[in-house]
Structure 1
Amino acid sequence: MIRNARPADLDAIAALHARARATYYRDHIPEEAYAGTAELRRTREGWDRAVARADGGVLCAKQDGELTGVAAFRPVDGEMTLTQLHVEPAHWRRGIGAALHEACLTAWRRAGVRRARLEVYEHNLRAQSFYTAHG
C-alpha cells in the first residue's frame, strides 16, 4: 500500500533512510557523514520538513504494517524534482521502488507536471540502473 506520509511515520522514515544510505555511501564517504545519532536526528528533521511542505509530497510504501519504502518530491528552481526514493534494503527487488516511482508519476500527472528531474549519487549504480529501467 502506498499513501501520503504522516508525522507518526517520521521515526521509521528516518531509520529506513539511514539504512538505505549506508548501502551506497559505505566505502565512498566517511561514515559520520551518513550514520550516527546526530545524522539520524538531522535526517528526521529533514523528513519532518518534507512531510509538512505544501508544495511537495512524501509517499510511504507499507507492507504488513511495516514501512518498506519512501519517496519525496518538490519543486526545485521551478522544476518538479524527485528528491528522495529509498527502499528498505531487505525489500529490494520486490517492486516497491517501482510502485513508489509510479505513484510519484501519477501525482505529478494529476498536478499537470510534464517534466521532472532527479539526481543520483554517482556511486549508487543500483539507483542509476533503476531509473534507467523506469525511463
Structure 2
Amino acid sequence: MIRTVVPAEAEAIVALHARARATYYPDGVPRDGTDWLANWRTAIERPDGQVLCGVEEGRIVGLASFRTPEGAGPDTVKLFQFHVDPDHWRAGVGTALHTACVEQWRADGRRTAVLDVHVDNRRAQGFYARQGWFPDPENPPAEGDHHLFLRYTVHPGE
C-alpha cells in the first residue's frame, strides 16, 4: 500500500533513510552533523511538498519526498529522497512508489521531474533508467561533483 506519511512516523522514516543510504557509501554514511529527524519532520509537514511511503505488513518499507525546488516554475517537481528498505529490493516496492509519485505529479499538473543521485549508487541509477529518467540536459555534472542530475517527463493522461 502506498500512502502519505504522517508526522508520528518521522523516526521510522529516518531509520529507513539511514539503512538505504548506507548501501551506497563505501566508507559508511558521512557524519556531517545533519539532523535527519528535524529534516524529515520538516519534509513531512511542508504544505508545498509531500512524503509518500510504501507499507507492507504494517511496516514502512519505502519512501519518497518531493516538492517544487527553489527557483523552479510550477510545472517542475524535484524528487528529493527516494529509498526502499534493502530487505525489500526487487520486490516491486520502488516501482509502486514511483508510479504513485508520477500519478501525484500528473494530478498536480507537473510536466517535469528532476532529481540528483549519488554517483556511487549504481543500483538506483539503473532503477531510475528503467522508470524512464534520463540525464538532465540542463544540468550536466560538474567535475568533481558526486551527483548525477536526472530528468523525467510527466506525460498527461497515461
Q: Same fold (TM over 0.5)?
A: yes
Q: Which has the larger radius of gyration?
A: 2
Residue 33 of structure 1 aligns to a residue in which SS? coil
Counterpart of 2:24 in 1: which secondary structure? helix
1:5 correspondence with 2:39: no
The aligned runs of 1:1-135 (5 Å cut-off) are 1-27=1-27, 31-33=29-31, 42-76=35-69, 77-78=71-72, 79-135=76-132
- 2:154 corresponds in structure 1 to none
**Using the alignment, how far apart are the partners of 2:26 and 2:57 within structure 1?**
29
1:94-127 deviation line (CA, Å, top 9, x unaligned):
0101111111100000000011111100110000
Give the distance between the partners of 1:31 and 1:119, measured in 2 at CA: 17
**Structure 1 or 2: more strand by fraction:** 2
Shift in Å, 1:43: 1.1
CA separation in 1, counterparts of 2:54 and 2:10? 13
Report which structure shows greater RCO (CA 8 Å, sep ≥6): 1
Structure 2 CA distance for aligned equivalents of residues 6 and 125 of structure 1: 30
* 2:7 counterpart letter in structure 1: P
In structure 2, distance between residues paired with 1:128 and 1:90: 18
* Larger helix proportion of the pair: 1
Maintained 8 Å contact 2:21/2:29: no
Aligned length in residues? 128
Task: Kindly report structure 1 stretches of 4+ aligned residues shifted beyond 2 Å.
Answer: 30-34
Q: State the TM-score, normalizing by the size of structure 2.
A: 0.77
Structure 2 unpaired stretches of 5+: 133-158
- Kindly, what percent of the aligned residue pairs are identical? 48
- Residue 111 and residue 63 in structure 1: after superposition, are their counterparts in 2 closer, same or farther (change >3 A)? same
Q: TM-score, normalised by structure 1?
A: 0.90
CA RMSD of aligned residues (A): 1.4
Shift of 1:31: 4.2
Return 5+ residue gaps in structure 1 as ranges. none
